[in-house]
Amino acid sequence: MTDLHSETVDEVQDTSDVVQAAETQDPAPDLAGLLKTLLSILPSDAVLSDPEDTRPFECDGLSLYRERPPIVVLPENEQQVIEVMHACRQHHVPIVPRGAGTGLSGGALPHKQGVLLGMSRLSRIKKIDPVSATAVVEPGVRNLAISEAAGPYGLYYAPDPSSQIACSIGGNVAENSGGVHCLKYGLTVHNVLSVRLITIDGEVVELGSGAPDAPGLSLLPIFVGSEGMLGIVTEVTVRLIPAPELARVIMASFPSVELAGEAVASIIGHGIIPAGLEMMDKRAIHMVEPFVNAGYDLETSAILLCESDGTTTEVEDEIARMTEVFEQAGATRIEVSQTEEQRERFWAGRKNAFPAAGRISPDYYCMDGTIPRRHLARVLNAITEMESTYGLRCANVFHAGDGNLHPLILYDANEPGEVVRAEEFGAAILELCIEVGGTITGEHGVGHEKINQMCVQFSREELDTFFAVKRAFDPYGLLNPAKLIPTLARCAEYGRMHVHRGELPFADLPRF
């Protein structure tokens, strides 16, 4: 960690203090007044304030951090969302949006003086248009439900996070979620055509368009992945694609993670873009197989799951090319799915890696970093060394095709010190990702979990720019505060920025 008094920099004049100024200059949050207002404008069952009712909302899928929200609001339509936004602005109360609660970065961690805005009741599929191949849905619609509704038209929604049976499209938009098929079909941002959102002032804004391009500046890509810091989504239009005629998966075994990593690079180097390309290491294989009975090779050090989809002819040709590449790369066993049931079973093992971890460890901490593919072996070997450093086990499953890692750090929260060591282990992995030219997230977002690592990845000037965007949408700093973008004061405390003349780090700046 850097010595804060070892160097000096110019005095900080950044925009983050402007964003946060409202929190110190405006009156304190008036929760009592807000509760009274909410009960006057919403149905009684849409406003929760008793501890036993609000406690289920104290965390998302990342359970390391918990905060019971003082008020939970469950609107049923857009107009109610608008009224909630007006009320919170009037009473100076922060708003934390929440979808299905499956997020893994603490993005929906409640604010101790704020409202948790649950969007699960906005769950209508408004329109499936087979002609334009689009679906118009509310944010509480489950990811998988879109494909189920589009299925009769021969269409489906491509992004498929492992939690797709439960996660909501609004949450997917907030985190820019991916899935095992994101290599070929892209992340959420590549499959969303437009969003309808409510600003902090209660204004309705539409970003994007059903047309190939929208007039003016393209703000949609900025909004997707903004983690509820810029506005609240009330409607999403997504792109649907034709269901493939055939899909088959190769399971290829390798005697080392180095050879498996080289095989990934070789597949892409041969100009093949698989529908999915996933890797699992030995610990992950042995963790998953007894849980799912996917048919994985238990005698190997790493497996790749590589899928081809398209017409029958296209798939047969691509499978043959993939098989040849894997054989040349040193695969010791190659098995190709022969039925749709076997294909789904292969993928079920990968998609159930997280719950499978619960069978061998009381707790697990899932990380989400992305690295250049050429560094896969280096990073995986470094993670193995870190296991000894932190005294914890780690199973690795990841989207190998685009270098998106999901190390599962196994720990026991009841054992003294293990939670702290798990956090430190995770931070070390993320900072290694930055070191090799990668980034701290691929699809889980930053939320509360990775905010310190934002200080490592980005400069003061870059953070200034992020805050400028935040200020343009939310000048009061009320939308999901203390998430995604760290203040320079926080970065100084984390040891990634220096002070001027040996003074306290950014003592003049407001703190969250």
- 3-class SS of residue 410: strand
pLDDT at 210: 83
pLDDT at 350: 94
Walking along the chain (512 residues) 10 residues at a time, the average pLDDT comes out as 32 42 66 98 97 97 93 98 98 98 96 98 98 98 98 98 96 96 96 98 95 84 97 98 98 96 95 97 97 96 98 98 98 98 96 92 95 94 97 96 95 96 97 97 95 95 95 97 92 68 38 36
| pTM for this entry | 0.90
pLDDT at 94: 98
Domain 246-353 has CATH 3.30.70.2190: yes
Q: Which helix (H) or strand (E) holds 344?
A: helix 340-351
Domain 27-118 has CATH 3.30.43.10: yes
| 232-239, strands of its sheet edge to edge | 125-129, 134-137, 232-239, 192-198, 204-208
Cα radius of gyration rounded to whole Å, the chain: 23
pLDDT in tens, 386-413: 999 999 999 999 999 999 999 999 999 9
Helices and strands in the chain: count of H runs, count of E runs: 18, 19
CATH class of 125-242: alpha beta
- Measure CA 168 to chain center: 12
Pairwise CA distance, residues 25 & 264, whole Å: 54
pLDDT in tens, 52-84: 999 999 999 988 899 999 999 999 999 999 999
Instruction: Tell me the fold of 364-435.
Output: Alpha-Beta Plaits (3.30.70)
- Do the domains 125-242 and 246-353 sit in the same CATH topology, yes or no? no
Per domain, the residue ranges of the chain are: 1-16+446-512, 27-118, 125-242, 246-353, 364-435
